[in-house]
Chain A
Amino acid sequence: MTLLEVENLQTELHLKRGIVRAVSGVGFTIRAGEALGLIGESGSGKTMTGLSLLGLLPQPVGRIVGGSIKLDGRELVGLSQETLAREIRGKEIAMISQDPMTSLNPVFTVGSQIAAPIHKHGYDRGDESAIDLAVRELERVRVPSARLRSHDYPHQFSGGMRQRTVAAMAIGCKPKLLIADEPTSALDVTIQVQFMDLISELQADTGVGLLFITHDLGVAASLCQKIAVMYAARIVEIAPATDIYAEPLHPYTQGLLNSVPRLGSKRKHRLYSIPGTPPHALNELQGCSFHPRCERATEACRTERPPLIAREGREVACWNL
């Protein structure tokens, strides 16, 4: 069943220097229990896509100017901030961001911070208090001696435990959709692997849909069933994970996958590198945004933007397939 349906999403940032089209015609779907990896470099619009879903675009510059976001059939574009705060954010859609140190409040105990959204959205009406439920969530994310540790402040936790606390906070209200924006980038690999296991487990337990935003092709591979690659505010390729890693079709996806060193590859010398740099957000290019960096660019690529074209269960925006 389709949980989230994003269609032709257009998000702009109205800055003094001009209008940045941060998200331009992005569309994807996520089913319950499914994980979609949204991959891109900094400035590609992946985080702005996530923030658009939550209605948390930077104010007053950010706004959704077109498209539709449907969660379980309900249109979210156009809802007031109050409605979003009361009915959506933290309740239906929760978020885990990159740095647990900034997403936790240093002056409140861990337990009270997990309990706050549970209480706000009224999940503590049964026999158990919000704190009891918070301790249960802490146990679920495997914080040892959860009852005792719930009285600790964030600085008393290790980095990995902090990020697990943020996860507990996110799932406390049983959201339908979890947005994780680079949740493991601040973690060491041995902590990262434990956190990824935890996310998979939470997904299996609760059936929550996951939008996993990352620049790390490796992290996304182990978690996501579907991958969408963003470049310059647009999705250039979207496909099942097994297909895209085995046979990337878009030249940008190919370049990305070829340019990262892999464990066990004996090739010692030069890596493939994508020439040039990502385009500037303020000047939108004519044609395909990737054409100045693409080895296969033709006249068509320079003049006309390729649409996402469906083929064999995947979609690619490229004229040269």
Chain B
Amino acid sequence: MTLLAASDVKSYYKTPAGVVKALDGVCIDLREGETSALVGESGCGKSTLAKVILGLAPLTAGKITFNGTDTATMDRPERMNFRRHVQAVFQDPYSSLNPRLRVDKILAEPMQAHGFDRASIGMRLTRVLEMVGLAADSIKLYPHEFSGGQRQRIAIARALMLEPKLIVLDEPISALDVSIRAQILNLLQDIQDELGLAYLLIAHDLALVEHASVHASVMYLGRIVEYGQTADIFSKPAHPYTRALLSAVPQPDPTVMRDSSLIQGDVASALNPPLGCHFHPRCPHATEQCRTEAPALARKTTTHAACWLTA
């Protein structure tokens, strides 16, 4: 069942240099209990979409519905309910935790804001600490007394306090040491298995997306260029950008040759995106039509892709 749907979402920023179209008509469907991923390079808009969903970035046009209710027209109780059920874990646990608060205070804050009493906060706290694998006595410590991996556990615990239905994970492991990443990834998996909550996973690491998600959307310069089942996107990518991304991923195997011929140049500026398909200046197959007319997402063999060239 659809938990959260974003349709034709646009998010524009005014800057001294002009208007940045961070999101230019994006649709996404998040289903209950499933992990959906947003993948793309820096500046593609994946974090902006997360922020728009969380209400942290402007929704210039389009609609976001949660359990069928439009978030723009929610009354106060509905909004509180929405806020409670949609939580976030950010990339850097060094900046997402207040250094001046002890862990118990950090974890209690979300529930206090929602008017829970002390007793229920205390009970939930014990339960959540256990879920994320932190010792009960760690609540008396400050964030700086923890390692990066443990801090990310605290951030996850905070997101779990209000028993959310959806957690937005914005690059949840990129700031962690390689040997710690798998621990956090497994923890997130265990929590999902136990609680049945949905994740929106934002990542630039394709191997991680393939490992952890059921559905994925590939973004490029403010638009989704391909979406579908993760397994289909990775086995039969339809969009030239997806193919280029996949071929560029560094693999821990020296016998795998990377192919850099599928992509050239840099991402264009979001201030002045190319006409037509945003990817055309870097696409080895671009035609006249690609240069002038933006392709819409359309059904391909197994996925949906926005490309004039692939069937």
Contacts and interface: CB of A to CB of B under 8 A. Distances in A.
Say whether A and B bind each other.
Answer: yes
Interface of A: 41-42, 158-161, 188-194, 196-197, 215-219, 221-222, 224, 241-242, 245, 252, 255-257, 259-265, 267-275, 277-278, 293
Given A189-B249, A192-B248, A193-B248, A222 B179 contact: no
A191 B183 CA distance: 29
Given A189-B204, A271-B186, A215 B178 contact: yes
Nearest to B183: A273
A281 to B, nearest CB: 12
Contacts of A265: 210-211
Query: Closest 8 A-B residue pairs measured CB to CB?
Result: A218-B250, A273-B182, A261-B211, A259-B182, A188-B41, A193-B248, A217-B252, A271-B182
Contacts, number: 137
B260 interface: yes
A257 B211 CA distance: 15
A267 B185 CA distance: 14
A219 B250 contact: yes
A219 to B, nearest CB: 4
A241 B250 CA distance: 14
Contacts of A189: 41, 204, 206, 245, 248-250
Contacts of A241: 254
9 contacts: A41-B179, A188-B42, A189-B249, A190-B282, A260-B252, A263-B207, A264-B234, A274-B183, A277-B150
B266 A160 contact: yes
B149 interface: yes
Contacts of A255: 179
A272 B180 CA distance: 11
Nearest to B251: A218
Interface of B: 41-42, 147, 149-150, 177-183, 185-186, 189, 204-208, 210-212, 234, 244-258, 260, 263-264, 266-267, 282
A260 B251 CA distance: 10
A220 to B, nearest CB: 8
Contacts of B252: 217-218, 221, 245, 257, 260, 262
B266 A218 contact: no
Contacts of A267: 211
A189 B177 CA distance: 19
A242 B182 contact: no
Given A188-B267, A263-B249, A193 B211 contact: no
A190 B41 contact: yes
Nearest to B42: A188
Nearest to B214: A268
Contacts of B147: 277
A274 B182 contact: yes
B249 A218 contact: yes
B250 A259 contact: no
B146 to A, nearest CB: 10
A222 B250 contact: yes
B266 A158 contact: yes
Contact of A263 (B149, B251, B260, B264): B251
Given A160-B266, A271-B186, A273-B183, A261 B248 contact: no
B248 A263 contact: no
Given A188-B267, A263-B246, A277-B147, A193 B181 contact: no
Query: Which among B178, B246, B260 has the highest number of chain A CB atoms within 10 Å?
Result: B178
Contacts of B258: 193, 196, 222
Contacts of A263: 206-207, 210, 234, 246, 249, 251
A134 to B, nearest CB: 21
B106 to A, nearest CB: 20
Contact of A259 (B150, B178, B210): B178
B207 A262 contact: yes
A267 B212 CA distance: 10
Contacts of A278: 177, 179
A261 B207 contact: yes
Contacts of A257: 252
A77 to B, nearest CB: 30
Contacts of B189: 269-270
A188 B219 CA distance: 13
Nearest to B190: A270
A263 to B, nearest CB: 5
B41 A194 contact: no
A245 B183 contact: no
Contacts of A216: 178, 250
Contacts of A277: 147, 149-150, 180
Given A193-B263, A260-B182, A273-B186, 4 more contacts: A194-B263, A274-B182, A277-B150, A293-B179
